[in-house]
């Protein structure tokens, strides 16, 4: 019996999550049930998805290049110890390689730690680079929300000792440009500063050793109501109600430069050195954002915390305003209440991490860094959905070399070869005597705009019949003019 | 004491290969000795290497697109069982992931098996696709020859039931085009057919069960003399001298279409069905290669065997004629006699594999395939070496926004922002008051051709001083014409 969501009859998909593929010998046939991807948390990209991916990457890379960035690449695995102690509680999500002799290795978890390792290893003290590559997390996959175990990150970082907030402002400008150009609807970029958070925790009476764990709890405010966050602070993290309420007042605050100015006058915060440094920088940041004309989308939001340990200053996160309907529902997710239209949530995030490079340098030499990571998988999900009803071309072929008559394979191959040699993107069907209809159908299916038709008469006349696939118009073109004519028509 | 090849004093590099990095806690400083990469067999790509890589990829992708190919992508890991039994003796080189619960996974070993798995899983019966991605092999690294444990493959494959040898000929045409355009000097493409090899083994008296292992031995003829290959056949593989000598006669043969015709008349081979089928196809292949104008580089060579199990028909391999001097010598390699100038060897290879997709289909449905893989790492090595003395730009920045005077940061940022908004690739130094000299130096170091200089006078006049970095010529350009002027000068 075939299962309800299209699995092979060999497998009972009602128990999808427990099911195992039977062990196979080298000659046994493997079968891939539909739910395998759900379990593995990875996916293939088909040609249509790749065409969309290429478009998205082109927009992002153009932006990075417009801002003068170079690019680097690093291996997919790092020494296990390189990743140790960089990701807080999330370290359990790191994929390890099996110990087959030699160094212990893990798949990279992000591109930031490899970047810091690269800088320290090569003693680089300033660079502006982007890096687009896949990273790996053994997280619970949620494919409908574009959350995979293997996913792309697009990182842009500026390393170097510079005057305050100038590179930080450029990172925000980049997020703004990319989200605008991708045309994903309205968005907001929340900004905060780890020093402001720490100062706030201090003046609210949070003990020093609880800063990081309370920070993690505050970070949940984008998914949980304040009441629940407060409960976690009090019941699980052991804060007093008083302290939690004081935090609650601060984290409800949102604004711009004005809020930074107001908080610099706050009787408690103004007494805290860390907070003052953060707030002064926040003011300066907004003055640069004003010059960069992006303040309409940027909000100083005291509830933004971000999970990672390594941030030391400004942090930010971009959120799309729209929700997307679930693409495919997995049984596990169907239980979720919010799955009819899930919020795509954060599509970019980053911040300043001035201490990370020093962790990899034998002498602890610091290289200040600030950067941003674009959450490209969620963006792919949205773009794919937008394109789901559209026809997307997956090849760039300009012309198909065809014939209506038999025994012209050699002539077709000769002409195709000549076109390739002249730089024309050309195809020919791999059949001795294909029907004209199937040649035209191939063009219609794949969007090839032109057909170059050869026949005995055309060969005799030294011409090629050039057909426009859409209009069905045909015109005889002298062989010598063919390349120019194709170029002209497929500009 | 610092070691002779630049390691940190913490490590004794005389015992490089045995050395371990000391275990570190999250706050301990990691140090990366120079020999770590040699041991791991991986490498970072720096911006200059990336610029070269981008150039190489562009040439290859343009060629694939010119031939009408789509592209796909697949996860970096596959189910372990997907890879089982596909690579013969080389299976021991597969990287496994640690069992952390869930499916057992391995890093992909090539792009061909994932492609076949993709076709079977999605029931695709015809496609022409390319796939450029990294693959993983726990081989002995030989970085000077461009052999890494993580390396790129660039694969182009044609799947589908077509008339004989037409897609096969296109694959060879593609290798020819790419090697020509990369401008790597002279090359040859050797062609053979598994059916010819099998027929040859049969008529020489090799027992059926030894076909594959003798095939592996024949494959060593590009690195070993015939005498040594013969020794291996007789002493290790248990062939009689007679049989080996008969093989020796055949594998010394090289030619073109004429050789195929001659062997079709060979009293022994002509009695073997397999060999005849292979030879007839070889004749046909050469007739298409003639039409594609590539026969000047293609040789029918009976010694070509190729290691992989899955080939069923035509096989081929491209070899560069030039040798390259070793880039960096590792102690292990310095012992090698041939290291002064190593032959780069094979830079592309492939063939027909009609049975592989069927191994992944529950009903064993076959999808005939033929493809080629470009050995891009060796090509990178050569290109990097060529470029080692050249200056390669790693950014595309058109203009640096600069100032000779103090207190003009805001004006610099404003102008930079305006240029970004107009699509100009622009940079600005992240300093409040940088010296003009350091701004000009930045341009010279990174190859930025233009500087847009702002000063009090220029601001008053509504102009920008545009300076050509190389010629040092300066001209005042009205602010309104600046974008056009920059575009004109950086076409």
Whether A122 has its CB under 8 Å from any CB of chain B: the answer is yes
Band (pLDDT 50/70/90 cuts) for residue A91 is confident
pLDDT at A15 (0 to 100): 30
The alpha-carbon gap from B143 to the nearest alpha carbon of chain A, in Å, equals: 14
Cβ atoms of residues B290 and B169 within 8 Å: no
Contact pairs from chain A to chain B, CB under 8 Å: 273
Give the pLDDT mean for A435-451: 97
Please state, in angstroms and rounded to a whole number, the distance separating the CA atoms of residues B349 and B370.
11
Band (pLDDT 50/70/90 cuts) for residue B441 is very high
pLDDT at B11 (0 to 100): 37
Distance, first Cα to last Cα, chain A: 52
Helix A273-291, helix A257-264: angle, nearest 10? 160
A47 and B70 within 8 Å at the Cβ level: the answer is: yes
The alpha-carbon gap from A230 to the nearest alpha carbon of chain B, in Å, equals: 31
Please state, as a whole number, how many other Cβ atoms lie within 10 Å of the Cβ of residue A333: 19
User: What is the pLDDT of chain A when averaged over all its residues?
Assistant: 87
Please state, in angstroms and rounded to a whole number, the distance separating the CA atoms of residues A355 and A294.
28
- Residues from chain B that touch A121, judged by Cβ atoms under 8 A, are 32, 44
Please state, as a whole number, how many other Cβ atoms lie within 10 Å of the Cβ of residue B292: 21
Residue of chain A minimizing CA distance to B107: A97
Question: DSSP labels for A328-394?
Answer: S--HHHHTSTT-SEEE--EEEEEEE-SSHHHHHSTT-----EEEEEE-HHHHHHHHHHHTSSS----
Residues 207-236 of A with CB under 8 A from B: none
Residue ranges for the known binding site of A for L-histidine are 110-112, 137, 153, 157, 306, 310-311
Considering only CA atoms, which of A286, A304, A289, A121 is closest in space to residue A200? A304
- Residues from chain A that touch B53, judged by Cβ atoms under 8 A, are 73
A425 and B73 within 8 Å at the Cβ level: the answer is: no
Please state, in angstroms and rounded to a whole number, the distance separating the CA atoms of residues A345 and B5.
50
Lowest-confidence region among A285-289, A414-418, B11-15, B32-36: B11-15
The alpha-carbon gap from B485 to the nearest alpha carbon of chain A, in Å, equals: 17
Six-digit token pair at B106? Answer: 């391995």
Please state, in angstroms and rounded to a whole number, the distance separating the CA atoms of residues A153 and A317.
14
Whether B10 has its CB under 8 Å from any CB of chain A: the answer is yes
Please state, in angstroms and rounded to a whole number, the distance separating the CA atoms of residues A124 and A139.
33
Lowest-confidence region among A92-96, A388-392, B477-481: A388-392
pLDDT digits 0-9 by tens, A347-402: 999 999 999 999 998 888 999 999 999 989 889 988 988 888 888 999 999 999 99
Lowest-confidence region among A86-100, A459-473, B283-297, B332-346: B332-346
pLDDT digits 0-9 by tens, B214-233: 988 998 888 899 999 999 99
B420 and A177 within 8 Å at the Cβ level: the answer is: yes
Please state, in angstroms and rounded to a whole number, the distance separating the CA atoms of residues B251 and B217.
12
pLDDT digits 0-9 by tens, B264-293: 999 999 999 999 999 999 999 999 999 999
**Domains of chain B, start order:** 1-40 (no CATH), 47-386 (3.30.930.10), 399-489 (3.40.50.800)
A27 and B166 within 8 Å at the Cβ level: the answer is: no
pLDDT at A7 (0 to 100): 36
Question: DSSP labels for A125-180?
Answer: --EEEEEEEEEE--PPPBGGGTB-SEEEEEEEEEES--STTHHHHHHHHHHHHHHH
pLDDT at A470 (0 to 100): 96
Q: With a cut of 70, say whether residue A328 has pLDDT above it.
A: no
Residue of chain B minimizing CA distance to A443: B68
Q: Is B310 annotated as a binding residue?
A: yes
pLDDT at A243 (0 to 100): 96
Q: With a cut of 50, say whether residue B337 has pLDDT above it.
A: no
Band (pLDDT 50/70/90 cuts) for residue A31 is low
Candidates B28, B29, B132, B309, partner chain A, best to mutate (most A CBs within 10 A): B29
Residue of chain A minimizing CA distance to B99: A98
DSSP secondary structure code for residue A99 in this structure = -
Return the residue matching tokens 């010629």: B471
Please state, in angstroms and rounded to a whole number, the distance separating the CA atoms of residues A477 and A343.
55
A45 and B72 within 8 Å at the Cβ level: the answer is: yes
Please state, in angstroms and rounded to a whole number, the distance separating the CA atoms of residues A310 and B190.
54
- Residue A426, classed as helix, strand or coil, is strand
- Going B330 to B336 to B337 to B341, the CA torsion angle's sign is negative
The C-alpha angle A219, A377, A375, rounded to 5 degrees, equals 45
B99 and A98 within 8 Å at the Cβ level: the answer is: yes
Whether B309 has its CB under 8 Å from any CB of chain A: the answer is no
- Residue A461, classed as helix, strand or coil, is helix
User: What is the pLDDT of chain B when averaged over all its residues?
Assistant: 87
What are phi and psi for residue A26, nearest 5 degrees? -65, -25
Please state, in angstroms and rounded to a whole number, the distance separating the CA atoms of residues A347 and B170.
42
Whether A9 has its CB under 8 Å from any CB of chain B: the answer is no
pLDDT at B16 (0 to 100): 35
Please state, in angstroms and rounded to a whole number, the distance separating the CA atoms of residues B168 and A302.
63
């Amino acid at each position: 019996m075939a299962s309800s969501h299209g699995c092979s009859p060999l497998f009972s998909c009602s128990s999808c999550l427990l099911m195992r593929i039977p062990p196979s010998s080298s000659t046994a046939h493997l079968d891939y049930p539909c739910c395998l991807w759900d379990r593995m948390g990875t996916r293939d990209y088909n040609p249509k998805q790749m065409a969309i991916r290429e478009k998205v990457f082109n927009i992002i890379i153009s932006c990075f290049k417009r801002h003068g960035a170079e690019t680097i690449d690093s291996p997919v695995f790092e020494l296990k110890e390189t990743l140790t102690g960089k990701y807080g509680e999330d370290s359990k999500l790191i994929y390890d390689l099996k110990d087959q002799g030699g160094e212990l290795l893990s798949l990279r978890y992000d591109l930031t730690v490899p970047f810091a390792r690269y800088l320290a290893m090569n003693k680089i003290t300033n660079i502006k680079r982007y890096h687009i590559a896949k990273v790996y997390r053994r997280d619970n996959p949620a494919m409908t929300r574009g959350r995979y175990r293997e996913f792309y990150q697009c990182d842009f970082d500026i390393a170097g000792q510079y005057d305050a907030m100038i590179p930080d402002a450029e990172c925000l400008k980049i997020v703004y440009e990319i989200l605008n150009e991708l045309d994903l609807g309205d968005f907001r970029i929340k900004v905060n500063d780890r020093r402001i958070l720490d100062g706030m925790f201090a003046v609210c009476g949070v003990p020093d050793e609880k800063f990081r764990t309370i920070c993690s709890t505050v970070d949940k405010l984008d998914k949980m109501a304040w009441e629940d966050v407060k409960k976690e602070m009090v019941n699980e993290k052991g804060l007093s109600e008083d302290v939690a309420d004081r935090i609650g007042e601060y984290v409800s605050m949102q604004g711009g430069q004005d809020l930074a100015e107001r908080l610099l006058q706050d009787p408690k915060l103004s007494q805290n050195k860390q907070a003052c440094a953060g707030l002064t920088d926040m003011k300066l940041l907004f003055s640069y954002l004003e010059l960069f004309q992006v303040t309409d989308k940027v909000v100083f939001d005291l509830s933004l915390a971000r999970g990672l340990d390594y941030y030391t200053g400004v942090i930010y996160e971009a959120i799309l305003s729209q929700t997307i309907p679930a693409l495919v529902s997995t049984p596990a997710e169907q239980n979720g209440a919010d799955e009819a239209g899930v919020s795509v949530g954060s599509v970019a995030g980053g911040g300043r991490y001035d201490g990370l490079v020093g962790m990899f340098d034998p002498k602890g030499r610091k290289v200040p860094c600030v950067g941003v990571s674009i959450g490209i998988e969620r963006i792919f999900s949205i773009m794919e959905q937008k394109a789901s009803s559209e026809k997307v071309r997956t090849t760039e072929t300009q012309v198909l070399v065809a014939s209506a008559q038999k025994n012209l394979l050699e002539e077709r191959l000769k002409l195709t070869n000549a076109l390739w040699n002249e730089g024309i993107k050309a195809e020919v069907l791999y059949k001795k005597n294909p029907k004209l209809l199937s040649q035209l159908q191939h063009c219609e299916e794949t969007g090839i705009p032109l057909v170059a038709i050869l026949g005995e008469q055309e060969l005799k006349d030294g011409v090629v019949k050039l057909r426009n696939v859409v209009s069905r118009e045909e015109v005889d073109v002298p062989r010598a003019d063919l390349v120019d004519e194709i170029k002209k028509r497929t500009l």
